[in-house]
Amino acid sequence: MTALLSVHNARKVFGGLVAVNDVSFDVSRGELVGLIGPNGSGKTTMLNLITGALKPTSGTIMLDGTVLSSRPAHFIARQGVARTFQLVRVLPSLSAIENVVAGAVFGHARHWGADAYALAEDLLHRVGLGGRADAPIASMTYIDQKRLELARALASDPRLLLLDEWLAGLNPSELKIGISLIADLRDEGRTIVMVEHVMDAIRSLCDRCVVMSSGTKIADGNVTEVLTQKDVVAAYLGGEDA
């Protein structure tokens, strides 16, 4: 079977800085892949290339045979790529349920009217915000806003879900809830790529991880093996990158 997501020699240059340096990797259907690396290693840039927030300088990104690279973000979203943001982005003047409906109307799966609202209601329950459909967004805690963002991403029934440090900033008990939520998504067969710094989460959730350092892919494989690899350890503990 071919890969669902295939990144081939993706490259992104900002002025003189090579943020992503000819990175290639594949993600198969149903796989949960961790994308890790030290700060500034190009992980979020990589996600931005996949979702179309940025256009790659060169290289190809494909989703199930469709070329995504250099297409606009809305096209990529409609192909079935949904994401959350590193710094949570909710829609403050919309109600909680409308925030979720926003994900259901224009994306990969398209719902409208009562149908979209029913779906959004289900998803709010799913992420633990049941009964809070009309809650004002501004009064929501950080984790609740993150939950809301996840529900919005799920509302389009994405073929590929990209989580950008979705677990960052959560306290230990919230972290547990968050990890089990992602585990549920994995168990129901969603394909997920998660950029993450929380190593416990990577260890307990991911089958495989891709490690980036200074824009280059330095490792790709089974999580426990990769994390003991010398250059990976060096990159994290202060090799040339720190």
Partner 1 sequence: MDILVTGTVLGGTYALIALGLTLQYGVARIMNLANGENLVLACFTTFWLFSTYAVSPLLGIAIIAPAAFALNWLIYRFAMRPLVERAKNRGQLEVDSILATFGLMFIFQGVMLLAFGGGYYTYNFLNTPVEILGANYGLNRLVTLAAAAIIALALWLFLYFTRYGTAIRAVAVDPVAAGLVAIDVPRASAFAFALGGAVTAAAGSMLSTFYTFNASMGVIFTMKALIIVIMGGVGDVRGAVLAALLLGIAETAVATLVDPGLTLAATYALFIIVLLFRPQGIFGRSPA
Partner 2 sequence: MNAFTARELRTAVIGAAALAAAALIPLADDGYYLSLAVNIALYAVLCTAWTLFSGPTHYISLATAAFFGIGTYTVGLGIDTLPFPLLLAIAAIAGGLIAGLVGVATLRLSGVYFVIFTLGLAELVRQIVTWLQTNFTNAVGLYVFTDFTEAHIFWMLLGLAALVYVTGWLINRSRLGFAMRIIGNDETVARHAGIDVARSKVILFMISGAFIGITGAVLAPRFAYVEPPSAFNPLISFQVVIMALLGGTSRLWAPLLGVIPFTILFDQVSAHFPNHTSLMIGIAFMAVVYVLPRGVTGLVEDLVRTRGSGRPATVAERAQP
List residues binding partner 2 (CB under 8 A). 51-53, 72-74, 77-78, 82-83, 85, 89, 91-94, 98, 101-103, 105-108, 112-114, 117, 152, 156
Burial grade of 78 (CB within 10 A; 0-12, 13-18, 19 or more): middle
Helix (H) or strand (E) holding 66: strand 66-67
Q: Does 15 bind partner 1 (CB under 8 A)?
A: yes
**DSSP for 192-211, written as a single string:** EEEE---HHHHHHH-SEEEE
* SS3 call for 95: coil
Cβ proximity to partner 2, 53 vs 179, nearer residue: 53
Q: Does 65 bind partner 1 (CB under 8 A)?
A: no
Contact mark string toward partner 1, 167..196, x via CB under 8 A:
------------------------------
15 binds, among partner 1, partner 2, none (CB under 5 to 8 A by kind): partner 1
- Which residues in 15-131 belong to E strands, given as ranges? 17-27, 32-36, 58-63, 66-67, 81-83
Calculate Rg over the CA atoms of the chain. 18
Question: Minimum distance between the CB of residue 136 and partner 2, rounded to whole angstroms?
Answer: 11
**Minimum distance from residue 50 beta carbon to partner 2 (Å):** 11
Q: Which two tokens stand for residue 176?
A: 């547990």
Instruction: Tell me which residues touch partner 1 (CB under 8 A).
Output: 14-15, 54
